[in-house]
Structure 1
Amino acid sequence: MSITKSAFRSLISLSGLLTLLACLPVFGLVWTALQGNNEIWDHLIRFVIPATLIDTFMLLFGVGFLTILIGTGSAWIVTAYQFRGRSILDWALLLPLAVPTYIIAYSYIDILHPIGPVQSLLRDGLGLDMQQLWFPNIRSVWGGIFLLSFVLYPYVYLSTRAMFLMQSASLIEVARSLGLNPNKVLLKVAIPLARPAIAVGTSLVLMETINDIGATEFLGINTLTLSIYSTWINQSDLASAAQIAIFMLMFITFLVLIERLGRQKQRYMNSAQRSRLMPARHITGRKALLLFGLGMIPVVIGFVIPFCHLIVESYKRIQYAGFSDSLLEASVNTLSLASVATFFTILIGFLIVSSARFSQNIWFSRIASLGYAIPGTVLAIGLMLSLGAIDHAIADFLEFKLGISTGLLLLGTSGILIYAYTVRFLAISIGSIESGYNRIHGVLDDAARNLGQNKRGILWRVHFPLLAPAILSAALLVFVDAMKELPATLLLRPINMETLATQLYAEASRGAYEDGAIAALLIVLVGLIPVILLARMGKTNR
């Protein structure tokens, strides 16, 4: 049975409709921002945005600078040198990826609290009371820069490590033959060649930083994202929140353009390199121990300390109160929402990319991928506005035309949350499936056609089996990201519905850090799954 032209057009039309639905929050955001009160906007411009901009740019600059140092330095250590323990560092440096930003803030606030373990031990050891001991305040912009950098540096590490591995051995050997020591080789040869990869990783770090709402609120940092949240929740002013969100979206667009430019340059440079990889220098003795110690510092700060703290606090909590019913309910809600969202995200991504493959039109996939660049808070406002208008229109039509009172059908339900997850993480699905398609040569399509297969047969009998690993990887990443998503979940969840992320946020907001330890530990344990997958993929690729 051959697939007809009308069926093929239907696939293209469906992809276009799905892309339009993915962009719906942005349309709603722009429309509402244009309807906002100018007087309120003037107030925001004069008194709210300047202060938040200062904190936001300080945080972004500090996190960007420190993640470049940590990520690039770690990538160079495990690429340029061969020493005992390097194979451990190779995958251990990815472990902080399993710790969401709000969990590392949550953990260190508890650890470094005036009555926490660190300050208590210092006071006991030095014989001082609470007023006599001075200790840096982690709840500050500088504390945020420190903590976020040690949990987000793997984005820079991954992209830069890949670029270092691809750098031609001849370039490094020529530099060494000219008398450059290893430090000068790094600064004058390796880093200039790796700048596109560093830019890609740093732009992802900055997008994650500006999307954060939990860590910044815990640490008392007044960012643009937090201003959007407070304007909406505390002042009940959606239009003003939308105006701040548009301002923020413009900045995010700028970061996306930098990331895209970096990828284009990276592809060019990769194609220009010779196949022989950069050689690693063999190091032994104290230097090897020093390199291993330097490499382990970000792992210990970004993963080991918070993870061990969560285990201890979770054990104490379970010993004292057991595994509460509310936590069990939050776990079920989290798993259910993440599973359903993963199914739709993968299905929609597969349809969009497959239609692009057959039509040679990549615009749908590119436009639909923009959701990942939209912070969760901005996305939540856009969905609330656009779906709210649709919801009210449907309810009014049913009530006045048919006499049926349904109330709101979309807002305040799990459906809008699944919609938000799908839009937010569709880029992961599309990117992974596109990567899988890049490995399927067009010759296979031609061979299948010669054997009598139509486009539908090629799609399901050739493409889908070959795409299975990419689809599985994408599903895993989407599932974990949906589990730990906080901003959109916090704003769009139904009343009296909690997930692990929102329950942790609620407990930390009340100052009951020990009560949120189990939820935090469960999120981290699930977050380890994609980290293990990334480590295995890295070994396979090398």
Structure 2
Amino acid sequence: MQSALNLPATTPRRRLPSLRALALVAAALIAAPLLSVAFNVFTPGTAGTWQHLLSTVLPDYVVATLWLCAGVGTGVAALGVGAAWLVTRHEFPGRSTFEWALLLPLAMPAYVMAYAYTDLLQFVGPVQGWLRETFGWRRGDYWFPDVRSLGGAVVMFSLVLYPYVYMLARTAFMERAGGMIEVGRTLGLSPFQAFCRLSLPLARPAIAGGVALALMETLADYGTVSYFAVQTFTTGIYRAWFSLGDRTAAAQLAMVLLGFVILVLALERLSRGGSRFADSTLRSRGVVRVPLQGPRAVLALLACALPLAGGFLLPAGVMLHMALTEGDAQWGTRFFTLAGNSVLVAGATALLATALALLIAYAARVDKSATTRWAHRVAGLGYALPGSVIAVGVLIPVTQLDHALAAMLRGFGIDAGLLLTGTIAALVYACVVRYLTAALQAMDAGLARITPRMEQAARTLGHTPAQTLWRVHLPLLRGSAMTAGLLVFIDVMKELPATLVMRPFNFDTLATQAYTLASDERLAEASTSALAIVAVGLVPMVVLCRHIVRGTR
């Protein structure tokens, strides 16, 4: 009995400092690119570059970025909220299928959609060709909207990013709107009045969060805006880096772009204000759907079918048709080399991000200090940073470190070349910084489902935190770890901005190949690479969509 009572006192207590130190090191590596960009803002650059940008293209960058954000924010809110309201509050043919299928555009990269619609809607494309053949028109006889424009970019982003709003708004309508809407109807409110005066205010925080996510993705995009010749901060960063050769100007533009991201996040917080909403009717899960018949059912079906068709079915069909009819001259060894490169980068990133996420999430669980809590928050900042900002922030210090290592090794008679930027190491680092947030959220959710009593039982048996993690938590976290790795893998397969900047010489991926070929107007050859990117994310996306739908019913 004496030894049993003294057992907790003999439990090792050297667990927290080492775990806290590892979490701090991981968070410092994530924060390093942002600090690098901020530091280089104040470094003198090429004479006159910033003044040239300020007097020529910078105002265009600001105006185009603001219009793009305003258009995309309006588009994703209208599509996402409308679709969510229809599938949660109404019953019509195909509703159960649309409930999960409306999330499928998330598997379609925006730049792939841009390539598909350009081929479909350009002057020599099938749509305008059919119009000229049918009505006997010639060039100049009719007006047709130019898809490669700011308006076209707004439509592309709205179609591919509305699922962010749809997913969060649908959950809000399911969890908060049911009982209150019924009470409102008994007080004489029409369905539209109940939507405007009850459902919409209740779902406002969720809608604002979805719009913020969509806008961050819009600001981070490079492939679509570059292909459509829309002058945003992202295209300006690449122009300053590659065309003007001024890293300081690129860093300064990156900080301004980061300011736009911070503004989006601040507006999202501001839109919530001090409002707090709760449904005390205890009927949040029992949503009663209004059956629609006749013309109303047809309109509801079309309202859900149009964003799904425009955001996934039509562009995927166009790319598949090009791949089957025109073919890819580079299909074969070259294609499989590109696929191997993509899988290599995505796989390495997924493994590292999952391991770091597990370390940081577990440290935050067992160590409640402010230091570890801040390390956890800093590690989750990467997703809010555009890939171009991270690429600039990583490449500047890593290049300097690479040259220093090469010089040191030459002193020993070893010519190792560039160990970091000459390989995929720097690219993997940039992708880990960008997508660690997705893995961290999955690991946090997995750990939250494990009762603390398991840790307490392991401690009383004399296990250290590392032993507890290895023997107790890790077997229970296999599902969460696989989910985290899968999410990161899919995101990295689609990643374009960071890959274009960070890739080693003569190293291409499916994403860079699709972008390069499309930029050269070789859309048919780009179709196979684009379809492969979509296919990689499609099956996991279907599984994830159905899981989300089942989890909120």
TM-score above 0.5: yes
Which residue does 1:326 correspond to in 2? 334
Which residue does 1:222 correspond to in 2? 231
Which residue does 1:381 correspond to in 2? 392
Match for residue 59 of structure 2 among 50, 53, 69: 50
CA distance in 2, matches of 1:386, 1:271: 51
Match for residue 403 of structure 2 among 376, 392, 409: 392
Which residue does 1:200 correspond to in 2? 209
CA contact (8 A) 2:330 2:525 kept: no
Which residue does 2:316 correspond to in 1? 307
CA distance in 2, matches of 1:385, 1:49: 23
CA distance in 1, matches of 2:57, 2:311: 32
CA contact (8 A) 2:15 2:464 kept: no
Return closer, same or farther for 1:312/1:112 CA change in 2, 3 Å cut-off: same
Structure 1 residue 118 corresponds to structure 2 residue 97: no
Which residue does 1:24 correspond to in 2? 32
Return closer, same or farther for 1:450/1:26 CA change in 2, 3 Å cut-off: same
Which residue does 1:62 correspond to in 2? 71
CA contact (8 A) 1:84 1:284 kept: no
Structure 1 residue 465 corresponds to structure 2 residue 478: no
SS in 2 for 1:269: coil
Return closer, same or farther for 1:5/1:256 CA change in 2, 3 Å cut-off: farther
Structure 1 residue 412 corresponds to structure 2 residue 422: yes
CA shift at 1:132, angstroms? Answer: 2.2
Structure 1 residue 483 corresponds to structure 2 residue 511: no
CA contact (8 A) 1:200 1:262 kept: no
CA contact (8 A) 1:82 1:283 kept: yes
Which residue does 1:165 correspond to in 2? 174
- Corresponding letter in the other structure for 2:28: L
Structure 1 residue 233 corresponds to structure 2 residue 242: yes
Which residue does 1:344 correspond to in 2? 352
Structure 1 residue 508 corresponds to structure 2 residue 518: yes
CA distance in 1, matches of 2:141, 2:351: 56
- Corresponding letter in the other structure for 1:395: A
Match for residue 286 of structure 1 among 295, 315, 326: 295
CA distance in 2, matches of 1:45, 1:95: 40
Per-residue Cα deviation, 1:38-62 (whole angstroms, up to 9, x for no partner): 7432332232211111011101100
Which residue does 2:3 correspond to in 1? none
CA distance in 2, matches of 1:120, 1:81: 40
Q: TM-score, normalised by structure 2?
A: 0.93
Per-residue Cα deviation, 1:196-224 (whole angstroms, up to 9, x for no partner): 00110000000000111100011111001
CA shift at 1:286, angstroms? Answer: 2.9
CA distance in 2, matches of 1:207, 1:377: 12
CA shift at 1:273, angstroms? Answer: 6.7
CA distance in 2, matches of 1:49, 1:3: 61
CA distance in 1, matches of 2:11, 2:344: 35
CA shift at 1:30, angstroms? Answer: 1.4
Larger mean CA deviation between 82-91 and 166-175 belongs to: 166-175
CA contact (8 A) 2:438 2:488 kept: yes
SS in 1 for 2:230: coil
Return closer, same or farther for 1:262/1:177 CA change in 2, 3 Å cut-off: same
CA contact (8 A) 1:168 1:274 kept: no
CA distance in 1, matches of 2:273, 2:27: 24
- Corresponding letter in the other structure for 2:474: F
Larger mean CA deviation between 160-169 and 195-204 belongs to: 160-169
SS in 2 for 1:24: helix
Which residue does 1:425 correspond to in 2? 435
CA contact (8 A) 2:179 2:281 kept: no
CA distance in 1, matches of 2:213, 2:274: 16
CA distance in 2, matches of 1:220, 1:86: 38
Which residue does 2:4 correspond to in 1? none
Match for residue 355 of structure 1 among 358, 363, 385: 363
CA shift at 1:445, angstroms? Answer: 2.5
Which residue does 2:383 correspond to in 1? 372
Q: TM-score, normalised by structure 1?
A: 0.95
- Corresponding letter in the other structure for 1:240: A
CA distance in 2, matches of 1:169, 1:420: 44
- Corresponding letter in the other structure for 2:142: L
CA distance in 1, matches of 2:66, 2:435: 26
Match for residue 78 of structure 1 among 87, 97, 102: 87
- Corresponding letter in the other structure for 2:289: A
Per-residue Cα deviation, 1:377-410 (whole angstroms, up to 9, x for no partner): 111111111111222222333334x454433221
Return closer, same or farther for 1:408/1:17 CA change in 2, 3 Å cut-off: same
CA distance in 2, matches of 1:306, 1:265: 42
Return closer, same or farther for 1:3/1:135 CA change in 2, 3 Å cut-off: farther
CA distance in 1, matches of 2:409, 2:133: 69
CA shift at 1:242, angstroms? Answer: 0.4
Structure 1 residue 499 corresponds to structure 2 residue 487: no
Structure 1 residue 182 corresponds to structure 2 residue 191: yes
Return closer, same or farther for 1:149/1:219 CA change in 2, 3 Å cut-off: same
CA contact (8 A) 1:200 1:258 kept: no
Structure 1 residue 14 corresponds to structure 2 residue 22: yes
CA contact (8 A) 1:346 1:426 kept: yes
CA distance in 2, matches of 1:137, 1:245: 29
Which residue does 2:261 correspond to in 1? 252
CA contact (8 A) 1:214 1:487 kept: yes
CA distance in 1, matches of 2:149, 2:336: 34
CA shift at 1:187, angstroms? Answer: 1.1
CA contact (8 A) 1:59 1:145 kept: yes
SS in 2 for 1:362: helix
Match for residue 43 of structure 2 among 25, 35, 41: 35
CA distance in 2, matches of 1:363, 1:429: 17
CA contact (8 A) 1:123 1:133 kept: no
CA distance in 2, matches of 1:35, 1:321: 46
CA shift at 1:452, angstroms? Answer: 4.9
Q: Which runs of 5+ in 1 are unaligned?
A: none
CA distance in 2, matches of 1:479, 1:271: 37
CA distance in 1, matches of 2:509, 2:265: 30
Per-residue Cα deviation, 1:65-92 (whole angstroms, up to 9, x for no partner): 1110000000000011122211011011
- Corresponding letter in the other structure for 1:468: R
